[in-house]
Amino acid sequence: MAVKIGKYHLFKRQQDTGTFWYYWFEDEDGKRVQRSCGHGCESKRDATAFLEELYRADLLEDKRKAELRRKTFSIFAEKMFLEGEYSCKVRPAILITFGQ
């Protein structure tokens, strides 16, 4: 029976040298990408664990990208120009130096 974890589809391939586990998924362009699970996957259980870890890493990456998209410049620079901060102390000195 086929195993699907997230966007990843698991399948095995019998060859003369043994059984190998592969997975495929569709990329952003809709092209099918096929990859090997690696030498550490000797059983279906190992290959499934590999795909679960791959899926978790994808979820974490998606979460990180979503958090970065939510950050605006105002959040990024909220402490940059507070009275007494380093940037406020340095900026007048630079203006005076270039103004002379």
pLDDT at 82 over 80: no
> What's the pLDDT at 70?
76
> What's the pLDDT at 8?
93
- Asked whether 24 and 17 are in contact (CB, 8 A), the reply is no
- Asked whether 41 and 8 are in contact (CB, 8 A), the reply is no
pLDDT at 51 over 60: yes
**Confidence band of 30 (pLDDT split at 50, 70, 90):** very high
Percent of the chain whose predicted confidence (pLDDT) is above 70:
76
Percent of the chain whose predicted confidence (pLDDT) is above 90:
46
**Confidence band of 86 (pLDDT split at 50, 70, 90):** low
What sections of the chain are H helices per DSSP? 44-70, 73-76, 86-99
**Domain range list for the chain:** 3-73
pLDDT at 66 over 90: no
